[in-house]
Chain A
Amino acid sequence: MTKTGRSMSRPMLTRRQTAGAMIAAALALSFAGAALAQSFPERPIRLVVPFAPGGTNDSVARIVAESAQATLGVPVVIENQPGGASNKGTAYVADSDPDGYTLLIQSDTLTTNPIVYPNAGYDALTSFEPVAMVARVPVVLAVRKDLEVQTIQDFVELVRARPGEITVGTPSVGGGNHLTGLLFRDKMGLDWVDVPYPGAGPAVTDLVGGHVDAMWSMAASLMAHQESGAIRVLAVSTAERSPLLPEVPTVAESTELKDFAVENWQGIFAPAGTPPEIIEKLSEAITAAAKDPVAQERLQGLGMQPAGDGPDILRTEIEGSLPRWKAVVEANNITVQ
């Protein structure tokens, strides 16, 4: 009897209770994402560098990783996945699980590559969630030290006086530096000879050696040579003068192109669909890392302006530069199948 009594005394689930349990379960499920975010990160995070070790992008990644892993509490492991003009590594992250454990570090190349290479394998806006902008990098126009021009106006006059004769080193065809140069050239109606190089390093060497007349390049690769007088930086591409080169005028202030403003950057991205809570957490850690004084000093050493901006600013930057580069690429017909 007692047995039955005990079983009878066990409260039976009422219909209301069942409903309540179901709601709770549904709620629990919907909070699972949040709970996941709460416990994020639980294991090492991979930061994919779509270039070979040793480039600017790679160095920036290592500086940020070093600072960010302290905040995140898990190791941030750099994984170099070079190839396909950086499309390989970038597309790899775009296709990775959107769980915040696979991230990408990219520059303006993220925006320009899908325009230049229609088969890049990703879309600059829809394939990624921007996480943080680590650093801003001005593009500069520099000339060899014995070229007889002192200002960008002199340079423009020289190119006009000798159309199709002045040689301009191009760090890589279709890259941000090349497109910046083309944008300027087209707007000013100039005619010069583009000399392509497989990257900034050899192009800078030839500029220092005086084998090409000028070059458009990220400031980072030219800062040291500007200081030693091996080359002359004539102008920076940004809207305002750069704190890295305060004595160098902007293109906008020294030519008739009053709205000329181009800026390269280094940013961190997660695959599209990564939960916003995780993005927020990553963004906090990475912006903090970029603002860390030690990291800032290292970034400045590389010729970068430490930024530490959130996802919105990074997204706005990409949205703003997409149509501009599209126009330049189409006008110059540099699409590669």
Chain B
Amino acid sequence: MEDLLSNVALGLTTAMSLTNLFYCFVGVLVGTAVGILPGLGPLATIALLLPLTFGMSPTSALIMLSGIFYGSQYGGSTTAILIKLPGEAAAAVTAIDGHQMAKKGRAGAALATAAIGSFFAGTVATVLIVLVAPPLASFALSFGPPEYFSLVVLGLIFSVTLAHGSPTKALAMTFLGILIGTMGRDIYTGEFRYTFGLTLLEDGVELTGLAIAVFGLAEILRNLETPVEQRPVVAKVKGLFPTRQDLRRAGLPVVRGTFLGSLLGVLPGAGAIIASFASYSLEKRLSSRKEEFGHGAIEGVAGPESANNAAAQTSFIPMLTLGVPGNAIMAVMLGALLIQGITPGPTFISANPELFWGVIASMWLGNLMLLVLNLPLVGIWVKILTIPYRHLVPIILGVCTVGTYSIGLHAADLYIMAGMGLIGYVLLRWGCEPAPLILGFVLGPLMEEYLRRSLIISRGDPMIFFQRPISATLLLLALIAIVAMVSPRLRRKRAEIIVEGES
């Protein structure tokens, strides 16, 4: 314990140095900006700024780069709430209830809840890194292909609860998402699938562009249906900050989102995205006000936003303690450290205590800065809603186009975005919601990849999923989830039949 305190003290001293405070601030500021801009993501930004860090000390470099990463998780929710345009893919689920809140004049409360939830999550995740980084890291390593497959299956089953309408439509959307996810080059054989002979589909569909299209563009198109005069006016902004009741309702979802996010963030792969979706499903299941979900339930903002921030934070654990980067962003950070001659791994903490504890302490300071930065900004952001729609839409479209193009510099991504926007609109008219589609799109390819890899490793024996304890447990949970989902319906059906029989 004494060790821990002296470590934390060392970290704080390092992080509080004027230089490091400065880089931390630059990092979170840049991060907030790229988070807000749809398309422009933390990965491209960090890679772009990598050469700048060559001249810095490794500690300052990592402090700045990590600030960009977790800062972008804060920023991503802003546009999702205000204009239903997820700035980051991980904020897609926030768009569902966050934007509904904004329509009811509660944008301020939604934004503030997202910021406060993120701060809480960031703080807890930082403490978790301090206390249990090494065991969490080895937990992550125990996930091989079969474990991931089972986890993804569980996630897909939960996706049905994402929709507030018909479960059949939600299921259909999930499958459509899975199908879209299979487009492009097959990683096992290199063959093209579902490209319809078009070169522009050879690399498949890009997640950020798809999220922008089916959430943002589809929404814009739907708004264009009604003439300006008849368009429902966004309710007047009622108060910038959450009410006491809001906070009470958001409390537990924040805590649950934080723990869910911390756990899923450690796992290599799309931790933050899966964490936010998982948190949303969980809150909806647990809530006593299920009917409010999809219509501006504050739990649907608080939970996922806390989850994706916590996941962003804990995704550092495998990189720092094992040298295993869980996602592309961590790979760039690992590169930044290697270039500086520092090798993350099991001996990393003891060999570079100043660096490790300094960066950890800076994460907490950075989260504090983000809170201080974002809460006053809430007042400015909600003003965006007062911009006349005919001015706002061209700006949104411009930013989306530039952002999506900047990801891979492929014009193809823009055609795909436009096409998917149209498809998204048609689906919206049919009452099909985009959230399960996005989740299917994210999880489908992962499920296929892990399924095939597991079977290659087991030489075709499917028992591999049941023989490994973690995998078997996850599949059991999936089974319980299905039963739990079906049984109340069955009971209700039976009740209905009985009622009909009596009448």
Q: Does B187 contact A (CB under 8 A)?
A: yes
What residues of A have a CB within 8 angstroms of the CB of B408 in the complex? 52, 80-83
Q: Contacts A193-B456, A201-B325; is A209 near B341 (CB within 8 Å)?
A: no
What residues of A have a CB within 8 angstroms of the CB of B46 in the complex? 53-54
Q: In angstroms, how far is the closest chain B Cβ from the Cβ of A331?
A: 17
* Bound complex: CA A337 to CA B144 (Å): 31
Pair count A-B, CB < 8 A: 140
Q: Does A59 contact B (CB under 8 A)?
A: yes
Q: State whether A62 touches B51 (Cβ < 8 A).
A: yes
Q: State whether A205 touches B190 (Cβ < 8 A).
A: no
* Bound complex: CA A84 to CA B144 (Å): 27
Q: Does A65 contact B (CB under 8 A)?
A: yes
Q: State whether B339 touches A84 (Cβ < 8 A).
A: no
Q: State whether A53 touches B48 (Cβ < 8 A).
A: yes
Q: State whether B335 touches A59 (Cβ < 8 A).
A: yes
Q: State whether A209 touches B143 (Cβ < 8 A).
A: yes
What residues of A have a CB within 8 angstroms of the CB of B141 in the complex? 205, 208-210
Within B387-417, which residues are at the interface with A (CB < 8 Å)?
408-410
What residues of B have a CB within 8 angstroms of the CB of A84 in the complex? 185, 202-203
Q: In angstroms, how far is the closest chain B Cβ from the Cβ of A327?
A: 19
* Bound complex: CA A61 to CA B290 (Å): 52
Q: In angstroms, how far is the closest chain B Cβ from the Cβ of A234?
A: 20
* Bound complex: CA A54 to CA B334 (Å): 9
What residues of A have a CB within 8 angstroms of the CB of B322 in the complex? 208, 230
The main secondary structure of chain A at its interface with chain B is mixed
* Bound complex: CA A52 to CA B41 (Å): 13
Within B417-447, which residues are at the interface with A (CB < 8 Å)?
none
What residues of B have a CB within 8 angstroms of the CB of A164 in the complex? 459
Q: State whether B457 touches A211 (Cβ < 8 A).
A: yes
Q: In angstroms, how far is the closest chain B Cβ from the Cβ of A169?
A: 10
From A80, A193, A336, B457 is in contact (CB under 8 Å) with A193
| 18 new A-B contacts at CB < 8 Å, known A173-B187, A198-B187, A230-B346 | A53-B47, A54-B47, A54-B332, A80-B47, A82-B203, A85-B190, A164-B459, A172-B187, A173-B190, A174-B190, A193-B459, A195-B457, A196-B456, A197-B453, A208-B322, A228-B343, A298-B339, A334-B190
What residues of B have a CB within 8 angstroms of the CB of A54 in the complex? 43, 46-47, 328-329, 331-332, 335
When C-beta atoms are compared, the residue in chain B nearest to A302 turns out to be B338
Q: Does A33 contact B (CB under 8 A)?
A: no
Q: Does A224 contact B (CB under 8 A)?
A: yes
Q: Does A63 contact B (CB under 8 A)?
A: yes
When C-beta atoms are compared, the residue in chain B nearest to A87 turns out to be B202
* Bound complex: CA A48 to CA B489 (Å): 57
Q: State whether B345 touches A228 (Cβ < 8 A).
A: yes
Chain B residues near A (Cβ < 8 Å): 43-44, 46-48, 50-51, 54, 141-145, 185, 187-191, 202-203, 268, 318, 322-326, 328-329, 331-332, 335, 338-341, 343-347, 408-410, 449, 453, 456-457, 459
Within A62-103, which residues are at the interface with B (CB < 8 Å)?
62-63, 65-66, 79-85, 88
What residues of A have a CB within 8 angstroms of the CB of B344 in the complex? 224
When C-beta atoms are compared, the residue in chain A nearest to B318 turns out to be A205
* Bound complex: CA A212 to CA B102 (Å): 49
Greatest chain A CB density within 10 A among B145, B188, B190, B191 is at B190
When C-beta atoms are compared, the residue in chain B nearest to A65 turns out to be B51
Q: State whether B144 touches A206 (Cβ < 8 A).
A: yes
What residues of A have a CB within 8 angstroms of the CB of B185 in the complex? 84-85
Q: State whether A195 touches B456 (Cβ < 8 A).
A: yes
Q: Contacts A53-B48, A85-B190; is A228 near B347 (CB within 8 Å)?
A: yes
* Bound complex: CA A121 to CA B333 (Å): 33
Q: State whether A227 touches B343 (Cβ < 8 A).
A: yes
What residues of B have a CB within 8 angstroms of the CB of A210 in the complex? 141, 144
Q: Contacts A195-B456, A205-B268; is A336 near B187 (CB within 8 Å)?
A: no
Within A297-337, which residues are at the interface with B (CB < 8 Å)?
297-298, 301-303, 334, 336-337
From B144, B332, B459, A209 is in contact (CB under 8 Å) with B144
Q: Does A44 contact B (CB under 8 A)?
A: no
Q: Contacts A227-B343, A336-B190; is A83 near B410 (CB within 8 Å)?
A: yes
Greatest chain A CB density within 10 A among B51, B328, B335 is at B335
Q: In angstroms, how far is the closest chain B Cβ from the Cβ of A145?
A: 12
